[in-house]
Amino acid sequence: MPRTRFADRLAAARADRAARDALRTRREIEGREGARVLVDGRQLTSFCGNDYLGLGQHLDVVAAMQEAAAWHGVGSTGSPLVTGHHVEHALFEREMAAWLGYERALFFSSGYQANLAVMQSLLEAGDTCVQDKLNHACLIDGARLAGCELKRYPHADVEAAMRQLMTRRDGAAMLATDGVFSMDGDAAPLADLALVARAQDALLYVDDAHGIGVLGPEGRGSLAVAGLGAREVPLLLVPLGKAFGGQGAVLLGSAAIIGHIAETARPYLFSTAPAPAMAAAMRASLKLIRTESWRRAKLASVVMRFRRGASARGLPLQESFTPIQPIVLGENAKALAAARTLEEGGYLVTAIRPPTVPEGQARLRITLSVDHSEADVDGLLVALADAVKPAADPIPA
């Protein structure tokens, strides 16, 4: 039997993606000012970024990063347990733990790295990890790499989660979920999941990438909205690339759990620590999130303006009241065509296709921000009515 050649495998895989309208290309962003981005020398209004509160270019955040870089340089010089753990990291971790009511926090370079670290450190063969089918890829990948049994329940189906925990193996169990789902924009039923986790002696772990900063008092996220805290949710992840406008992630939990992860998680032990300047910038973002509640109020207003306008135009809305407003079109080709039409009209909206979303659920993932004006939203709605309505078919339940 002939040996497999990588060149042949890659060519066949690319041909298959092309046949399914699944090819992906990176766009070069040449410049950004608020919601405006420069792409191929042309200014577009972006509705596909995650800088929900407009903090990514806030002068206080930028100044904090510049000052810290001037004092400490651009790199951390090593892994956290060697020379990489800086006073800026420690200050940020303490402030985050105090803000969200946890004993201890741990700063990671990315949310993906953090989720791999959590699963690899806490789970092993014989354990069970139960997850929502629409969880982010890093939660799923983390469980697979941990070698535990991964069970995935239908989206937001609390009873199914309960059944899967009841029929698990004898080992330890974790129930993991997004707080706000990144592609649909809806919220997890956290209060009910907390009851299930408690009844089944499972550790509840929430990745609140798209809820933190946006939802709840002081922007404390999905847990605050559900009336939950460290007792009900022993482990919480706060990624910083969305409402915080930066990079990295903070894991929060008890001193025992966080200490164990810090000492044993390979993705944490063997990665260079984040830049101290990023920690300083994220401290500035945290201050703005806590004190400038008008940002959440404006964001909520922008979201409702979009939903009212989309409903009036008969656009296919999902049950989301967060900044993530997907328009599901079904076929990859339809989503790509709609995205191209929008770009011709001056709007950057990415077509999201499998495997990011399930087969047959290709969509435009529209994200809203405080940087968007009413005129921006109204203009997008007019463009969407032209780009989407002719292509929109009912999506099977």
Catalytic residues: 182, 210, 242
Angle at 221 between CA 265 and CA 294, to 5 degrees: 135
Residue 136 assigned ligand-binding role: yes
Distinct helix (H) and strand (E) counts, the chain: 14, 14
Residue 171 assigned ligand-binding role: no
Residue 102 assigned ligand-binding role: no
For residue 190, the surrounding DSSP H or E stretch is: helix 190-199
Residue 177 assigned ligand-binding role: no
d(CA 169, CA 314): 48
Q: Quick one: CA torsion of 275, 278, 283, 288, rounded to 10 degrees?
A: 180
Please tell me what DSSP assigns to residue 272.
P
Distances (CA, A) of 174 to 113, 121, 154, 210, 335: 18, 12, 17, 21, 36
Distances (CA, A) of 295 to 334, 377, 378: 34, 17, 20
- Cβ atoms of 356 and 363 closer than 8 Å: no
User: Residue 4 class from Cβ within 10 Å (0-12 exposed, 13-18 middle, 19+ buried)?
Assistant: exposed
d(CA 287, CA 315): 37
* Strand-pair category, 173-178 with 149-153: unpaired
Residue 210 assigned ligand-binding role: yes
Extract the annotated binding site for pyridoxal 5'-phosphate.
111-112, 182, 210
**Which parts are annotated binding residues?**
24, 111-112, 136, 182, 210, 356
Please enumerate, by residue number, every residue annotated as part of a binding site for substrate.
24, 136, 356
